[in-house]
Chain A
Amino acid sequence: MLEIKNLHVQLEEEDKKILKGVDLVVEPGKVHAIMGPNGSGKSTLSYVLSGRDGYEVTDGTATLDGEDLLEMEPEERAAAGLFLAFQYPVEIPGVGNMTFLRTAVNAQRKARGQEEMSSTEFLKVIREKAKELKIDAEMLKRPVNVGFSGGEKKRNEILQMAMLEPRMCILDETDSGLDVDAMKLVSDGVNALRDAGRGFLVITHYQRLLNHIKPDVVHIMSDGRIVKTGGPELALEVEENGYADILGEVA
């Protein structure tokens, strides 16, 4: 479903190459994990896929179900089913969490030619999903992410994902900043969405998350490339020995 071929990306503002030929295919129903040292380009990949400004694609392609992602506006990618749980969720003072989510859900429905969700139905659904993630009603009323703790922000990302029901979910370090219980809640939230039609790309530094969200494939990214791909055992190897061995091996 998500197909990335030979993706080369550099910064728009300066002549700095960040992605240097990424190849990756995520099949429906599968969970792929990406691990890799700080600064290797993991977040950049997630931003480029979701359409953030500031990057220039110099070569390669990225498609979702055969559609060229790179040609689309960010909102079109979202409507096409792509979702990014941000490494650093943005605070938006003055925009209520509920208003934001309802606007987003209905905008996506409209873009897909579906009927909008009524406010009663929306309330019902969001209350249920928020409860599962232990997000209280008061938090839903607050402005988007404003005054949320690090862990609350991450749970809020998963709530958004649960509401939007995207087909391709990219999670960028959703586990960082989570306590043990929250990690479990978030993982349960993700696992609840796992089904045959949905793909996941989980960026993480820790094997621990992958105990909860069992990956089918693990990739190691280094210096803008996927340098090694394997099964869940690869994550264990990183956990035990760090990246030195793997990177040494491919160098």
Chain B
Amino acid sequence: MALPQAKLDATETRLAAMALPSGGAWITAARDAALARVREMGLPGRRDEYWKFTRPDTLVEPQAPKAALFSHDEGMPFDDMDRVRVVFVDGVFDAAASDDLTAAGIEIERLETAAAQDIHWARDLYGVLEEKGQYPVMRPLAALNTAYATDGVVIRVTGKAEKPVSLIYRHASETSDAILHHVIKLEEGAELTVLENGPAAARFNKVMEVEVADNAKFHHVRTQGRDHERRAATHIFARLGTESVFKSFTMTVNGVLTRNECVIELTGDDAVAHVAGAALGDGDFHHDDTVFITHDAVNCESRQVFKKVLRNGATGVFQGKILVQPGAQKTDGYQISQSLLLDDDSNFLAKPELEIYADDVACSHGSTTGAIDEDMLFYLRARGVPLKKAQDLLVLAFLAEAVEEIEDEPLRDHITIRLQGWLERHSH
């Protein structure tokens, strides 16, 4: 089907402003195929159903809108943790600021190095899960990423990784436009935790493809914050094998535009996928969680837990779907999206969806919008807790169900402290 002229023009205008990176043979083929996908789908436009609640304009236009750099005294997330640091500045790998990757105890390479060699497992994944995730809903920004990503890492883990891999995205230029693509493969029984933090760039497009083989466990904890004017469109594509575990948690504070898509396919029996998010937004904050989980095996469990606290006109979006394919019996699917609106100006837009083609499943979903409970607030104050502190306690309590999805206790506490810190810096 031919694209509408406006979409075609917008797409070609953007593509004309970019250059395909050069690289090794296999990656060139993957990039060309991805570029063809972009041309076929066209970049997202305001009229697209999947972008009904979030305007894609600034993510699509040729130039990244400017984003000022902010600094404050709070230390960087995960600072006190033992981890393998991989630093990108405005989307470019910074070897000097990173830890020695050869000493990490796992296979970890820069994308361009992997591209120059014939690393078959990277070749077999790069753009592959992304392409698969284009159906039944198109995600053109992810295809754009596969075509144009200039940097990223490829990681392969065969055993239990000793330390988390910590991807740190520094933002240095007010006009930077960064595209990163990571490929992560957990072989059978492997375990890995990936941490991500940092504003990354004025505009950030990131894809992470994760293959979790049988019995492997993948944990992901991400914080997105700081520079308020930054914009980001991120995608996670994951494929889960038998009895594997995938758990991802994202904390988002600040940011005029964040769209986090997470596309998960449970392909092996007894697999578990949890995706959670806690977002705190103030003012012209726009935050969109778009999740699509496909159950294609027996006895799998999936959970989506998304909480957003919005004030001063902030907007939160949740589009979440559970698709249960024929034969995916005994599926246990749970989805909850909730917002706490601290004033009348803020907005929460939710589209929870269930599509079920198997008869022996237990799926539930719910979405709520509410304000701080006055009775709870009074009870706390009547015991002497000052108003602001009482509100913060109730906000943290509201977020707790999402934060509790982080399995590792020190990480969970760390995130709670970050959330507290943000609340303390923001007055109601």
Chain A interface residues (CB < 8 Å from chain B):
50-53, 73-75, 77-79, 84, 86, 89-90, 92-95, 99-101, 103-105, 107-108, 111, 143-144, 160, 164
| Chain B residue contacts of A77, Cβ below 8 A | 382
Of all chain B residues, the one with the shortest Cβ separation from A50 is B382
Residue pair B393, A75 in contact (C-beta under 8 Å) = no
Of all chain B residues, the one with the shortest Cβ separation from A74 is B381
| Chain A residue contacts of B376, Cβ below 8 A | 90, 92
Q: Does B379 contact A (CB under 8 A)?
A: yes
Within B378-425, which residues are at the interface with A (CB < 8 Å)? 378-387, 389-390, 393-394, 396-398, 400-401
| Complex CA–CA separation, A79 to B385 (angstroms) | 9
Q: Give me 26 A-to-B residue pairs in the complex whose CB atoms sit less than 8 angstroms apart, sorted by A's number.
A: A51-B381, A53-B374, A53-B378, A74-B381, A75-B384, A75-B390, A78-B381, A78-B383, A78-B384, A79-B384, A86-B379, A90-B375, A90-B378, A92-B394, A92-B397, A94-B396, A94-B398, A95-B380, A99-B393, A100-B383, A100-B393, A103-B389, A104-B380, A104-B383, A107-B386, A111-B384
From B374, B375, B390, B400, give the contact of A94 (CB < 8 A).
B400
| Chain B residue contacts of A84, Cβ below 8 A | 382
Known: A92-B394, A94-B400. A108 touches B384 (CB 8 A): yes
From B379, B387, B389, B400, give the contact of A73 (CB < 8 A).
B387
From A75, A95, A105, A164, give the contact of B381 (CB < 8 A).
A75
| Chain B residue contacts of A164, Cβ below 8 A | 383-384
| Chain B residue contacts of A75, Cβ below 8 A | 381-382, 384-387, 390
B405 to chain A, nearest CB (A): 14
Of all chain B residues, the one with the shortest Cβ separation from A144 is B379
B428 to chain A, nearest CB (A): 14
Residue pair B379, A90 in contact (C-beta under 8 Å) = yes
Residue pair B382, A51 in contact (C-beta under 8 Å) = yes
| Chain A residue contacts of B384, Cβ below 8 A | 75, 78-79, 104-105, 107-108, 111, 164
| Complex CA–CA separation, A103 to B390 (angstroms) | 9
| Chain B residue contacts of A103, Cβ below 8 A | 385, 389, 393
Residue pair A74, B382 in contact (C-beta under 8 Å) = yes
The 7 closest A-B pairs by CB, nearest first: A94-B397, A78-B384, A74-B381, A108-B384, A104-B383, A90-B379, A94-B400
Of all chain B residues, the one with the shortest Cβ separation from A143 is B397
Residue pair B374, A89 in contact (C-beta under 8 Å) = no
| Complex CA–CA separation, A100 to B400 (angstroms) | 15
Of all chain B residues, the one with the shortest Cβ separation from A166 is B384
* 20 extra A-B contacts, CB within 8 A, seeds A94-B400, A104-B380, A160-B383: A51-B381, A52-B382, A74-B378, A74-B381, A75-B381, A75-B384, A75-B387, A78-B383, A90-B375, A90-B379, A92-B397, A94-B398, A94-B401, A95-B396, A100-B380, A100-B383, A101-B383, A103-B393, A104-B385, A108-B384
B398 to chain A, nearest CB (A): 7
Residue pair A95, B397 in contact (C-beta under 8 Å) = yes
| Chain B residue contacts of A108, Cβ below 8 A | 384
A95 to chain B, nearest CB (A): 5
Which of B378, B381, B382, B389 has most A Cβ within 10 Å?
B382
Residue pair A95, B387 in contact (C-beta under 8 Å) = no
Of all chain B residues, the one with the shortest Cβ separation from A108 is B384
Of all chain A residues, the one with the shortest Cβ separation from B378 is A52
| Chain A residue contacts of B381, Cβ below 8 A | 51, 73-75, 78
